[in-house]
Amino acid sequence: EDQVTQSPEALRLQEGESSSLNCSYTVSGLRGLFWYRQDPGKGPEFLFTLYSAGEEKEKERLKATLTKKESFLHITAPKPEDSATYLCAVNYGGSQGNLIFGKGTKLSVKP
Amino acid sequence: NAGVTQTPKFQVLKTGQSMTLQCAQDMNHNSMYWYRQDPGMGLRLIYYSASEGTTDKGEVPNGYNVSRLNKREFSLRLESAAPSQTSVYFCASSATGRSNQPQHFGDGTRLSIL
């Protein structure tokens, strides 16, 4: 069964304390892996797309990487405004652009 | 720069009532999607429309119907609401249905069914 697993479920950091979030997947024929940020009461906001192992994307304090079985979202020197739930989704090419979402990692950054 | 707009934002229904959730996008996207998000679960696809005039079932279509009214609008209908349909519903769109196109989401409709 195609699956996407995110860990940890929740992560508490102090401001400036760097860390990584993990997204592992067991789909065959990965077509793309997407990272989203979701704030309370809002819809997911697109961050990155990764297509092939070894690829990296960066945006401000965030850096996403991809291997054959997992992706990491590295957060460098986080700020309180980085607090959100981060979602990972994969497209396995099953039907059109359909995605399988992980359950997310809730990140809290304390000042 | 509205992106994806969903209405209403909140709704409370009684079991057995019907209602339609509305979604419109202004990005000239071809593909549109409806998801539900429940606590402890990932977003699950209900229905999608790869292009104007087509709709297909997703992972959890039972109890729902959809209409792709035109290129901009994609509605989700609950014919006879059940408490199990209490959820947050998100509409999304993408430029095409191809796998390398990110989906862009609205801010959701929070639906409670009593």
Kindly list the distances between the CA atom of residue A48 and the CA atoms of A37, A68, A77, B28, in Å, as whole numbers in the listed order.
Answer: 10, 17, 19, 21
Find chain A residues with C-beta within 8 A of B108's C-beta: 41-43
Of the partner residues A32, A51, A101, the one whose CB lies closest to the CB of residue B42: A101
Cα nearest neighbour of A101 on chain B: B42
Per-residue pLDDT of chain A (111 residues; tens, 9 = 90+): 668 999 999 999 999 999 999 999 987 778 889 999 999 999 999 999 999 999 999 999 999 999 989 999 999 999 999 999 999 999 876 555 678 999 999 999 999
CA B99, CA A4: separation in Å to the nearest integer?
A: 16
Cα nearest neighbour of B106 on chain A: A43
Find chain A residues with C-beta within 8 A of B105's C-beta: 36, 43-45
pLDDT of residue A1: 66
* Interface size between A and B, measured as CB pairs under 8 A: 67
Tokens representing A51 are 């297509």
pLDDT of residue B41: 87
Q: Which residues of B26-47 are buried (b: 16+ CB within 10 A; e: fewer)?
A: eeebbbbbbbbbeeeebbbbbb
Smallest CA-to-CA distance from A44 within A88, A93, A80, A8 is with A88
pLDDT of residue A33: 93
Find chain A residues with C-beta within 8 A of B94's C-beta: 97
Q: B99, B107, B110: best mutation site toward chain A, by most A Cβ within 10 Å?
A: B99
Mean pLDDT of B13-33: 96
Query: Residue B27 above 80 pLDDT?
Result: yes
